[in-house]
Structure formats: C-alpha cells, structure tokens
C-alpha cells in the first residue's frame, strides 16, 4: 500500500509537470502567449528577424510564423484557420479575406516588390532579357497564376507580348528559387528580394518590363484574434520605422 501511494504521488507529479510544460513557460515564470502570423513566403527572412525583435520586446511572447503563397494562406484563413495577423504579397488575396469578414479593419500597405530573373551562378545559359526565357532549350520555372508572383508574371507577359512556357508552376516564390538553386531549372522569375537573399547561389538578371507589375504588400490583424493587442503591436512594428528599415535593407520598396 505504501508503494502504491508513492507511485500515485509520482504519477500525479509527472502529470502536473507535463501539463505545465504544455501550457508553456518562460524564464520569468509566466505562461507564454503565441502570436500566429500568416505571411507571404517572400517575407520569410525579414519577418523572422522582426519576430525575434518582437519577442525580445514582449516577454513571455512567442511569434509563430506560417509562410506560404498568399493565395494558400488566404484560403486557409477563409476556411477558419486560427491566426492573429495576415501579411499578403498582394492586395487581391488580402481582399479575399476582407470579403469573408475574417479581417474587418482596413489593411495597411507596408512594402512593394518587383520581379527579376534568376539563373544558376554565372548565368551558364547567358540569359540577358525576358525574351530569352522563351528559348526552347531553356528550362524555366515560374509561380502559379493564383500566387502573387505568378500574377505579376502574367502581367509582365501580357504587357511585353511574351508568352513563357515554363516546365513547372510553383505554389510560392521560394519553390521557384529552390528549383533554380538546385539545378532543376535554368532560369526562374522571383522577387528581387528573394534573389538578394539567395546571395551567390544565383545570378540575378534585371529586366525593364518588371516595372509594369509592382506588387503591394498589405498587413492586418485577424478579426477574431485571441491576442488582439499583440496582433496590433506586431502590425505596428512592421509598418513603423524599424519595420520599414528592415524591409528596405532586405530590398523591399516603400508602399
């Protein structure tokens, strides 16, 4: 009986410890609040850095990111996925979420971006212009049309009277970049920020037609956020001076 009582005490203590761990803890002894941010894939690096800054300024707070194509994120939100903040790579996908009332405030535009061509290091196929991408021996990858970078690609094609024949259409811009850096493609269309972030893994080839398809990035707190104050504060960090400086350093244009 004495052994059984001792085992029961140990099991109870273990269960209590597990429960406390599940609730989250911090160095200061309080529970941790998680702010979930749905953000366009092209924002990955700069938002990850801003998330760390936000956490350092808000004790017992963790920022959890879901990075993907804006169209996928908008669809998830409209299907009820829990989130606190949405940052889209275009206004069209943000509007889809506004129309379903998951976002009821007026989104704030915080950045712009344009396309560039990327090739493997050294540009082995000597791509020099947008029209070079139609060469039959060139494996080109782009974003799918419903994704902001894909929509921008379609606008560029239409304005330039160029029709591309990609070997694949990817669900977000980081997948396009991955196809090029892995050698699976000879060229791809990505944002200038993604090309800059890739460093010497790619060679970037600018083209003047890209100015005809500028993507504007909006951000807004989700209406049913359980952490409305923190969601608003993250929004303010992104749209404020520190956020603007970080975005500019990453290659984003002003809204």
**Helix or strand holding residue 165 (H, E):** none
Six-digit token string for 77: 């939100």
| Chain-centroid distance, C-alpha 228 | 21
Whether residue 70 is annotated as binding a ligand: the answer is yes
Six-digit token string for 47: 């938002």
Token pair 């690096």 is found at: 45
Whether residue 42 is annotated as binding a ligand: the answer is yes
Closest CA to 180 of 225, 211, 143: 143
Closest CA to 188 of 143, 238, 122: 143
Question: How many CB atoms are closer than 10 A to CB 42?
Answer: 31
Whether residue 3 is annotated as binding a ligand: the answer is no
Whether residue 191 is annotated as binding a ligand: the answer is yes
Alpha-carbon separation of residue 42 from 104, 171, 253 (angstroms) = 24, 12, 13
Q: Residues within the annotated binding site?
A: 42, 70, 173, 191
Q: Residues within the annotated binding site for molybdate?
A: 42, 70, 173, 191
């Amino acid at each position: 009986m004495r052994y059984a009582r001792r085992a029961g005490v140990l099991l109870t203590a273990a269960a209590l410890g597990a429960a406390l761990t599940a609730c989250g803890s911090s160095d200061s002894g309080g529970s941790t609040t998680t702010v979930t941010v749905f953000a366009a894939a092209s924002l990955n690096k700069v938002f990850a850095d801003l998330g760390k800054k936000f956490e350092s300024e808000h004790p017992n707070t963790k920022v959890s990111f879901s990075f993907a194509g804006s169209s996928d994120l908008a669809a998830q939100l409209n299907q009820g996925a829990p989130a606190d903040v949405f940052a889209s790579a275009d206004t069209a996908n943000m509007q889809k979420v506004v129309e379903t009332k998951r976002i009821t405030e007026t989104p704030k535009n915080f950045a712009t971006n344009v396309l560039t061509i990327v090739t493997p290091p050294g540009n082995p196929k000597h791509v020099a212009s947008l029209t070079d991408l139609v060469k039959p021996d060139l494996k080109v990858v782009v974003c799918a049309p419903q994704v902001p970078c894909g929509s921008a690609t379609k606008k560029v094609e239409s304005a330039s009277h160029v029709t591309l024949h990609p070997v694949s259409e990817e669900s977000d811009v980081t997948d396009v970049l991955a196809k090029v850096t892995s050698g699976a493609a000879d060229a791809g269309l990505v944002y200038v920020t993604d090309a800059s972030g890739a460093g010497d893994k790619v060679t970037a080839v600018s083209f003047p037609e890209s100015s005809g398809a500028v993507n504007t990035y909006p951000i807004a707190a989700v209406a049913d956020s359980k952490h409305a104050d923190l969601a608003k504060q993250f929004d303010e960090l992104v749209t404020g001076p520190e956020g603007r400086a970080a975005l500019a350093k990453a290659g984003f244009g002003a809204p």
